[in-house]
A = this chain, B = another copy of it.
């Protein structure tokens, strides 16, 4: 998917919501575990069909699939195939936080972009250029580089200033501009980082940002939009647990839809206020 197509989808859906498919088998509605052969896929399918009108992207986090071994991997592949077939305009992010030496990153790229055909992959920056660039050679595919994460541990290293006063995340943003561009790179910036969005936007004014941390982790959508929105929206805001586990009864999908719709409406308001609709 191109930068332009993504922006068009946002305008069409009046939403820049990404639904995080952190589908922990231990948290699924109990009836699915009894009735379904692949309860994780059955759950995802119901969540996707219920929330698709209110979002532009889905983000399965691989951890929640890998922990079920072979069966988990099958649930993950079924989910991607289902999205590709029935919701082809939704952007698919494999949240895997990969990154390794060049020849190994190349294998991951082949896996995620060629075999699974997801649109984007989250990548960790610690190993530098040759761990990231193998992901950049695929047309219409994206690297989403960790810049400023939403968790408490982001304080440990990401804000460390170098001798010139630049924080590590700023150095990563600036350096990565030499590797890719706004058509093939985005950055993870946590909603919990508040006014640091201004620093991010100073370095990457046009790029899309993938923003986790609204909802269960406590970030504010309003703040994110105030500091992070640009003239192509430039934001994909993720919510996982707050949407998919809104309810555990037989009505779990309707409850998820209601939560997603609530976020979509807040987002529509923000898009209008910023004159993008």
> Given A73-B69, A97-B99, A162-B162, do A157 and B104 touch, yes or no (CB 8 Å)?
no
Q: Which residues of B contact A63 (CB under 8 A)?
A: 98, 100, 104-105, 107-108, 111
**A217 contacts across to B, CB distance below 8 A:** 101
Number of copies: 2
- Set of chain B residues within 8 Å of A212, measured between Cβ atoms: 101
Give A32-52 interface residues, CB cut-off 8 Å to B. none
Hey, which chain B residues are within 8 Å of A99, CB to CB?
Answer: 97, 124
- From B95, B115, B172, give the contact of A157 (CB < 8 A): B172
A110:B67 contact, CB within 8 angstroms: yes
Which residues on B sit within 8 Å (CB–CB) of A61?
A: 100, 104
Number of residues in A with C-beta < 8 Å to the partner?
59
Residues of B within 8 A of A155 (CB): 128
Interface digits, A138-157 against B, CB 8 Å rule (1 contact, 0 not)? Answer: 00000000100111111111
- Whether, in the assembled complex, A184 has its beta carbon less than 8 Å from a beta carbon of chain B, the answer is no
Task: Please name all residues of chain B whose beta carbon is closer than 8 Å to the beta carbon of A69 when the two chains form the complex.
Answer: 73, 77, 111, 115-116
Cα A129 to Cα B172 in complex, Å, equals: 20
Distance, CA A163 to CA B159, complexed state (A)? 12
A171 within 8 A of B: yes
A244 to chain B: closest CB distance in Å? 13
> Bound state CA distance, A105 and B22, in angstroms?
12
A131 touches B151 (CB 8 A): yes
Docked complex: A47-95 residues within 8 A CB-CB of B: 61, 63-64, 66-70, 73-74, 77, 95
Listed A/B pairs (29) with beta-carbon separation below 8 Å: A22-B104, A24-B107, A63-B100, A63-B104, A63-B108, A63-B111, A67-B110, A68-B115, A69-B77, A69-B116, A70-B73, A70-B77, A73-B73, A95-B100, A97-B99, A99-B124, A126-B149, A128-B152, A128-B154, A128-B158, A129-B156, A130-B152, A130-B153, A131-B151, A132-B153, A157-B171, A157-B172, A163-B163, A163-B165
